[in-house]
Amino acid sequence: MEAFVKHTGLVVPLNRTNVDTDQIVPKQFLKSVKRTGFGKHLFHNWRYNEDGSPNESFILNDPKYKDATILIAGENFGSGSSREHAPWALLDYGFKAIISPKFADIFYNNSLKNGLVLVEIDEAQVDKWMKEAEEGELRLTVDLETMTVSDDKGVSVSFEIPEYNRQNIMNGWDEIDLTLQLEDKIREYEQTRLY
Amino acid sequence: MGKPKNIIEKIWEQKVVHREAGKPDLLYIDLHLIHEVTSPQAFEGLRIKGRKVRRPDLTFATMDHNVPTIDREKVNDPIAKEQMDTLKKNCEEFGITLFDMFHPNQGIVHVIGPQLGLTQPGKTIVCGDSHTSTHGAFGALAFGIGTSEVEHVFATQTIWQHKPKTLNVHIEGELGAGVTAKDLILAIIAEFGTDMGTGYVIEYTGDVIRNMTMEDRMTICNMSIEAGARAGLVSPDETTVEFLRGRPYAPKGEEFEKKAKEWLALASDEGATYDKVITFDASKVEPQVTWGTNPSQGAPISGRTPIIAESDDPEGVRLALEYMGLEENQPITSIEIDHVFIGSCTNSRLQDLIRAAEIVKGKKVKEGVRAIVVPGSTLVKMEAEKLGIDKIFKEAGFEWRHAGCSMCLGMNEDIVPPGGRCASTSNRNFEGRQGKDARTHLVSPEMAAAAAIEGRFVDVRNYEKTPILT
């Protein structure tokens, strides 16, 4: 995965709660045997009309947010299925970070494994930034080194991310390589547990 | 005697391969189940790096998500066919046992694991599918993983996991006659929300759970993920042991008795504590019907859709009712349906089909309703046919299909058309889940069966049933 230390980008507000993975990538696009190319299917049912033309009323189609790299959304983002196609689609579209008061567990894990940084912060602050992003142009900086997200008006909020994932993402490490360094331990476990 | 432990803590401690400060624990995985949709990229990852599957003997594959259920020979979707062909090739290349579409052990991955006795108490079980929580019914620690983790398990047979917080959902009271496990779990999610379990593993306790069959427990644990929890489990007891006795992959003879003792010892100790405890009264639960677009948006059959202005989340409720084509404050019994789906890893086992057939026997599906039954596995289908259940459904006007995930998520051709309204025994009522602009109402098999006959939701507690097992 691509290393991520610090990123500043335009924020697009998706003012909905419980955005589930069926919305992020509908099932008809899960049939690929590859990891790439899912960006064009992101939020398909909301983003496109029946005839395939862009649904102008969907926020991602607003030209104002064309270059957005950070998504801010309501709570319980990423609920539902375990499809990793959801973070793949968000990354492929160009998102580097998602901000929400709460993420669903499997989605959280899947995202961090792919270097999509999830920023879980207080709901009141999400609401404030959501409004600013809706009304004007909001740029935020997500910094994994300091574990903060900040705007250019001096508001800075801390967030937590498991240290293990933070190190992996900041260094762009391959997790399997790291685990295979512990192969002796795995073998020993298998031998003592009679597998 | 040490401090009393709950089953989650007990299993966890047995599975830690490596622990160091500042990292999650490295856990050993005892059973890895795979299917055609979330595995291809993981195999590809192995190939790119020249890695092998460490324990093909602990890995089992089946085809379920996009198999055709009408004619197995006709896979009309070339991309679905490619996924199935890819799985077959990958299993051959990496030496993994595959139960393909034509194999008698084929079925929904969460139905066949228990049926084959692969699922056992105390095992760590993973699968690239969020409903892996189903296997928790056996007192296994079972959870869904993403494709990167599937690849990691292939290569190392382990997974990095932060020790989860534990949540005890304790059920008091008894379920009323005609009220099922499905109604219970839907009622719990309606009360506590779709994120009540986020960050937790749930243990379900209480006499109601103890008295349930394994099939009922699977329905409950299956929907743990709809409550936000990656895993939900029930401590093993004699019901668990007897279910597993004689299953093809269960231990045999003396070894079984020895294992059974170990399994029973995994049950949570008297006085075990949890990070959080929720108590729920089963006696107030009625048959449930969801009216919205997430599983917590449900109501009892005697209830109505919410009044927007009076709800906690007016915008969410408004959007959901709009999508569902329902009015606020509308009686649930006034909702008319045109599709019925009996199936999915939540409710497609023999017991589910028997209970639905008892409602259907001797009646006819309402004109204008398309009703399908999709058994959870090829074996469930064969057993049901032995009991003549297929005939009961077919005579009533239901379609009787081959096993698979089918209309639960509509990855194959079994979809609900735009604007269609389905009474479904599955687990998710998300927008577009069963087809673009399709509307899903989650219910029990009994409620779905009665809805097929009446063309609308009715209270199954007052509905005629004809016993079919004599």
Q: Is pLDDT at B113 greater than 90 in this prediction?
A: yes
With a pLDDT cut of 90, the percent of chain A lying above it is 90
Please report the ipTM that was assigned to this predicted complex.
0.91
Domains in chain A: how many in total?
A: 1
Instruction: Look over chain B and give the mean of its residue pLDDT values, rounded to a whole number.
Output: 97
Whether residue A34 and residue B155 make contact (CB cut-off 8 A), yes or no, is: no
Residue A193: band (very low, low, confident or very high) from pLDDT cuts 50, 70, 90: confident
C-alpha distances out from residue B362 to B13, B339, B399, Å: 53, 20, 16
Checking if the pLDDT of A195 tops 60, the result is: no
How far, in Å, CA of B87 to CA of B75, rounded? 15
Q: In Å, how far from its chain's centre is CA B402? A: 18
Contact yes or no for B423/B443 (Cβ under 8 A):
yes
Q: Is residue A39 domain-resident?
A: yes
Distance CA B329, CA B340 (A): 24
Percent with pLDDT over 90 in chain B = 96
CATH number for the domain spanning A72: value is 3.20.19.10
Mutate to test the interface with B, among A19, A27, A30, A91 (most CBs of B within 10 A): A27
Q: What is the per-residue pLDDT across B305-340, written as a single tens digit (0 to 9) for each?
A: 999 999 988 999 999 999 999 999 999 999 999 999
The answer to whether B146 and B230 have CB atoms below 8 angstroms apart is no
Residue B370's contacts (CB-CB under 8 Å, 6 or more residues apart) are: B338, B339, B340, B399
**What pLDDT band is residue B15 in, cutting at 50, 70 and 90?**
very high
Q: Is the pLDDT at A126 greater than 60, yes or no? A: yes
pLDDT confidence of A32, banded at 50, 70, 90? confident
Using a CB-CB cut-off of 8 Å, the residues of chain B touching A82 are: 38, 128-130, 132, 144-146
Contact A179 B198 (CB under 8 A): no
Contacts of A193 in chain B (CB under 8 A): 28
In angstroms, what separates the C-alpha of B273 from chain A's closest C-alpha?
23
* pLDDT at residue A33 tops 90: no
pLDDT at residue A24 is higher than 60: yes
**Among the partner residues B26, B83, B199, nearest to A182 by beta-carbon distance:** B26
Which chain A residues have a beta carbon less than 8 Å from that of B41? 33-35, 84
A189: chain B residues, CB-CB within 8 Å: 17, 28
Full domain range(s) for residue A17: 6-192
Q: A58 lies in a domain? A: yes
pLDDT interval class at A28 (50, 70, 90): confident
pLDDT at B193 (0 to 100): 95
**Record: contact B23-A28, CB cut-off 8 A:** no
**CA separation for the pair B209, B172 (Å, rounded):** 9
Which value, in Å, is the radius of gyration of the alpha carbons in chain B? 21
Give the closest of B40, B145, B433 to A33, CB-based.
B40
Of A17, A26, A175, the CB nearest to B316: A17
Q: Least CA distance to A28: which residue of chain B?
A: B411
Q: Residue B402 — pLDDT band, cuts 50, 70, 90?
A: very high
- Is there a domain that residue A66 lies in? yes
Asked whether the beta carbons of B99 and B106 are under 8 A apart, the reply is yes
Instruction: Catalogue all structural domains in chain B, each as residue range(s) with its CATH number.
Output: 7-163 (3.30.499.10), 290-462 (3.30.499.10)
Nearest to B151 among A22, A83, A176 (CB): A176
Question: Three-class SS of residue A17?
Answer: coil
What does the pLDDT read at residue B1? 60
Place of tokens 């404050």: B329
User: Alpha-carbon dihedral of residues B304, B309, B310, B316, nearest 10 degrees?
Assistant: 70
Give yes or no for a contact between B443 and B288, defined as CB atoms under 8 angstroms apart: yes
| Residues B327 and B317 sit within 8 Å (Cβ to Cβ) | no
Separation CA B121–CA B123 (nearest Å): 6
> Within a domain: residue A33?
yes
Say if A30 falls within a structural domain: yes
8 Å CB contact of B229 and A105: yes
User: Using a CB-CB distance cutoff of 8 angstroms, which residues of chain B are in contact with residue A83?
Assistant: 37-38, 146
* Assigned token pair, B236: 């093993």
Partners of A75 on chain B (C-beta within 8 Å) are 195
**Position A67 pLDDT exceeds 60:** yes
The reply to whether residue B129 touches residue A82, judged by beta carbons under 8 angstroms, is yes
CB contact under 8 A, B155 and A110: no
Instruction: Report the 10 Å Cβ neighbour count for B347.
Output: 32
| A1 lies in some domain | no
Q: For residue range B227-260, what is the model confidence (pLDDT) as tens digits?
A: 999 999 999 999 999 999 999 999 999 999 999 9
pLDDT for residue A194? 67
pLDDT band for position A40 (50/70/90)? very high
Q: Binning pLDDT at 50, 70 and 90, where does residue A2 land?
A: confident
Q: Mind listing the pLDDT tens digit for each residue in B118-132?
A: 999 999 999 999 999
Distance from CA of B433 to the nearest CA of A (A): 7
For chain B, what percent of residues have pLDDT higher than 70? 100
